[in-house]
């Protein structure tokens, strides 16, 4: 059965113009007219679908609707219903939001200077509202892009659409020059046959229906908002996760120390239950630790999907293992702490040096002619592996055996 097709309310491509370390501010390029509802817009939505499926491991919801120059403020001001507490009217209520009167009015969205009168006459009131909202969102993101010296601007597609009974907003920073043929005069998409995922810098998908529900019920102390924002960052500039989180602004901000520990624990747990040989497991852990340590030292971010998953894929090929998608590290993560409802679940973060020291491998040999080799993660020392010294300069190494490993150990000692 084919998937339900999106119904597009409005789509447009503005542009933020900025080079790294640019000292003077260039105003954003605001398009005057919405794009036609064409096949190319649907292809762009499908492209975002694919990228969010592959890389969209960051989820959250708006932290506040009052912070200026943020998506939360713009949508709260111009896309959420006002007069929420009118008690004198007895109209039927909205099915999605039972406490809100269906007919209540939306506030007007301020117009842009020099708006095209012909365009206004051709648009419906809803289309004008969506177009003006995209203008305000562009200016808000523009401020955050210019707040960081290293960031760059690019084309900024925005698409409002409904699907499966929910309204969504897709926003991206995308290098369209090489990926998509675009009319630079109007911003119209001409061709999307050669979309290159490497040209995608940022993509956000906001479930607007759930955002509105959050806005309406925000004052209810018993209400727990779901995570209705998913986003990805392509590339590993340490500033990317920061400015996109500031623009939204998200509730769950990444704690790099927690995220580093979480990744390493997830990796170790995955390797334990995987089909890799013990030697391959050690090599994978060592290679990933080396990568993370390098990133931590140089204060760069790591992309789990783009940089960690390929290490495991390469090792499986060298080990002649065929790992099914459902048995992959990505699937394991999503089922064990990286789902939409989990915290610190982003696929991009800046590794912290301190927790990595707990996972560095150790190895030592005992004996001369008949050698006993002991190796493992440093995090096991003092916990699973202990050194017990006595008063006569002697010592015993105690290794705790878990119940699941005990049968194997018993066989060796028999």
pLDDT band for 135, please (50, 70, 90 cuts). very high
Per-residue confidence (pLDDT) for residue 30, from 0 to 100: 93
Quote the CA–CA distance of 263 and 127 in Å, as a whole number.
44
Average pLDDT over residues 321-346: 88
- Using the predicted structure, report yes or no on whether residue 319 has a pLDDT greater than 50: yes
Average pLDDT over residues 50-61: 75
Quick one: which of 184, 166, 169, 99 has its CA closest to 133?
169
Average pLDDT over residues 2-29: 88
Per-residue confidence (pLDDT) for residue 391, from 0 to 100: 76
CB 250 within 8 A of CB 61: yes
Average pLDDT over residues 193-201: 68
Average pLDDT over residues 135-155: 91
3-state SS, residue 96:
coil
pLDDT band for 22, please (50, 70, 90 cuts). very high
Its pTM stands at 0.68
- Using the predicted structure, report yes or no on whether residue 57 has a pLDDT greater than 80: no
- Using the predicted structure, report yes or no on whether residue 91 has a pLDDT greater than 80: no
Quick one: which of 387, 266, 232 has its CA closest to 334?
266
3-state SS, residue 180:
coil
Which residues, listed in sequence order, are joined to residue 182 by a DSSP beta bridge? 189
Per-residue confidence (pLDDT) for residue 383, from 0 to 100: 74
- Using the predicted structure, report yes or no on whether residue 85 has a pLDDT greater than 50: no
- Using the predicted structure, report yes or no on whether residue 313 has a pLDDT greater than 50: yes
Pairing between β-strand 361-366 and β-strand 229-233 as defined by DSSP bridges: unpaired
CA dihedral 211, 213, 214, 216 (to 10 degrees): 120
Average pLDDT over residues 375-400: 82
Per-residue confidence (pLDDT) for residue 180, from 0 to 100: 57
- DSSP letters, 345-368, are --SEE---HHHHGGG-EEEEEE-S
- Using the predicted structure, report yes or no on whether residue 401 has a pLDDT greater than 70: yes
Per-residue confidence (pLDDT) for residue 276, from 0 to 100: 94
CB 12 within 8 A of CB 187: yes
pLDDT averaged over every residue in the chain: 82
Quote the CA–CA distance of 305 and 182 in Å, as a whole number.
29
- Using the predicted structure, report yes or no on whether residue 247 has a pLDDT greater than 50: yes
pLDDT band for 103, please (50, 70, 90 cuts). very low
Angle between helix axes 208-217 and 71-78 (nearest 10 degrees) is 80
3-state SS, residue 247:
helix
């Amino acid at each position: 059965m084919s998937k339900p097709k999106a119904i597009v309310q409005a789509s447009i491509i503005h542009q933020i113009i900025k080079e790294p370390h640019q000292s003077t501010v260039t105003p954003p390029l605001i398009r005057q007219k919405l794009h036609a509802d064409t096949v190319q817009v649907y292809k762009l939505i499908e492209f975002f679908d694919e990228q969010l499926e592959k890389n969209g491991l960051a989820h959250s919801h708006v932290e506040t609707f009052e912070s200026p120059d943020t998506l939360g403020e713009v949508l709260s001001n111009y896309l959420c219903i006002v007069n929420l507490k009118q008690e004198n009217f007895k109209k039927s209520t909205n099915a999605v939001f039972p406490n809100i009167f269906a007919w209540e009015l939306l506030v007007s969205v301020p117009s842009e200077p020099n708006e095209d009168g012909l365009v206004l006459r051709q648009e419906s009131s809803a289309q004008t509202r969506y177009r003006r909202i995209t203008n305000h969102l562009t200016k808000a993101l523009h401020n955050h892009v210019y707040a960081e010296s290293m960031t760059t601007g690019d084309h900024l597609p925005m698409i409002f659409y409904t699907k499966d009974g929910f309204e969504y907003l897709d926003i991206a920073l995308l290098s369209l020059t090489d990926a998509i043929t675009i009319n630079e005069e109007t911003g119209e998409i001409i061709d999307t046959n050669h979309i290159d995922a490497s040209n995608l810098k940022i993509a956000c998908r906001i479930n607007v229906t759930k955002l509105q529900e959050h806005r309406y019920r925000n004052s209810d102390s018993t209400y727990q908002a779901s995570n209705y924002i998913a986003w990805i960052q392509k590339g590993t500039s340490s500033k990317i996760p920061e400015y996109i989180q500031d623009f939204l602004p998200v509730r769950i901000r990444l704690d790099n120390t927690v995220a580093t520990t979480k990744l390493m624990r997830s990796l170790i747990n995955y390797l334990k239950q995987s089909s890799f040989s013990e030697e391959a497991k050690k090599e994978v852990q060592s290679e990933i630790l080396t990568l993370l340590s390098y990133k931590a030292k140089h204060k760069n971010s790591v992309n789990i999907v783009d940089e960690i998953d390929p290490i495991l894929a390469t090792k499986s090929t060298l080990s002649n293992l065929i790992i099914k998608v459902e048995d992959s590290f990505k699937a394991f993560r999503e089922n064990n702490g990286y789902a939409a409802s989990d915290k610190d679940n982003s696929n991009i973060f800046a590794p912290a040096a301190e927790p990595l020291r707990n996972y560095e491998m150790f190895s030592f040999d005992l004996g001369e002619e008949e050698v006993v080799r002991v190796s493992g993660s440093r995090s096991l020392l003092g916990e699973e592996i202990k050194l017990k010294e006595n008063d006569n300069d002697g010592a015993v190494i105690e290794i705790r055996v878990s119940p699941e490993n005990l049968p194997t150990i018993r066989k060796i000692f028999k």
